[in-house]
Chain A
Amino acid sequence: MAKIENRKIVATADITLRIIFYLFILGTTFFMGKMLMGPILGLADHSSGLSTPMEFSVSEQGTATFDADNVVPVKIVRGRGIVQINRPVPAVLMIPFFLLNLIFSGLILWVVYSLWKIVQSVRQKNPFTTINGKRLRIIAFSMVGIELIRGLADLTKMLYLEPRLHFETILIRSDISISFHVIIAGLVILVIAEAFRIGVEIKDEQEFTV
């Protein structure tokens, strides 16, 4: 009975990861397109919604000024203060900013794809392969990488945007939100990947023992 239940869970995970993978590709393409279309077509204004929203810690809604003369609305959405800044990134930094986003999205996509492939091999009852060991390592390194990039993005926001953004009644504050849980989870997966690699080696040796 438990065997059948586990099989169902694995099958559900397979389908779910497949859906997440394709939805993520669509989502990434949309947001990357949006990010590029704004500066290219000059559509980055509040009405078009093509400019990138920035999140800050604020306790009330209102307006703020960006670069002294640009008035921008501040909204609180799901407990976070969202500031819709018209072209927050200067043109010279647009390409590095785009590349950073691309790497970030690519890493998430890579993690989902690797996990999906591992689940597929479990369904085919052949999970103990060298390639799956590599996939686990990819997942581990990507998780650490994702958190470091997030930290880097927050640091950029703190150093570049925060001094330029002024809110009349309250102080706008940004934090570096690196999740150490994710980094530790990544390191744990790295250890499991190493144990997995040794396991695959032992299995191969066993298979070639006559």
Chain B
Amino acid sequence: MQIRINLDVMMARRKISLGELAGRVGITQANLSILKTEKARAVRFSTLEAICQELDCQPGDILEFVPNEKNDNK
């Protein structure tokens, strides 16, 4: 996976649980868990916006691009 999700890090920093964040953002806990465990294939801008709003952070604090080894070798 080239995009790493640092949602758990931000949640720990803000001391907020998955259930509480899901309730505030307005998505189900199951869907937020899919995002947290990097199983999601796409994120809506509206979801990202709501998460950033609640965690008081930038999208870059949650999403991180990690180049894989193959690309590094090229």
Contacts and interface: CB of A to CB of B under 8 A. Distances in A.
14 contacts: A205-B41, A205-B42, A208-B39, A208-B40, A208-B41, A208-B42, A209-B40, A209-B43, A209-B44, A210-B31, A210-B35, A210-B40, A210-B43, A210-B44
Closest 7 CB pairs of A and B: A208-B41, A209-B42, A210-B31, A210-B35, A210-B40, A205-B41, A208-B40
With a 10 A CB-CB cut-off, give which of A204, A205, A209, A210 has the most chain B CB atoms.
A210
Interface in B5-33: 27, 31-32
Interface string A170-210: 00000000000000000000000000000000001100111
A16 B39 CA distance: 41
Chain A interface secondary structure, helix, strand, loop or mixed?
mixed
Nearest to B41: A208
Contacts of A209: 40-44
Nearest to A209: B42
Contacts of A208: 34, 39-42
A69 B50 CA distance: 91
B47 interface: yes
Given A208-B40, A210-B27, A210-B32, 15 more contacts: A205-B41, A205-B42, A208-B34, A208-B39, A209-B40, A209-B41, A209-B42, A209-B43, A210-B34, A210-B35, A210-B40, A210-B42, A210-B43, A210-B44, A210-B47
Contacts of A210: 27, 31-32, 34-35, 40, 42-44, 47
A205 B42 CA distance: 7
Contacts of B42: 205, 208-210
Nearest to B51: A210
A205 B27 CA distance: 17
A208 B39 CA distance: 7
Contacts of A204: 41
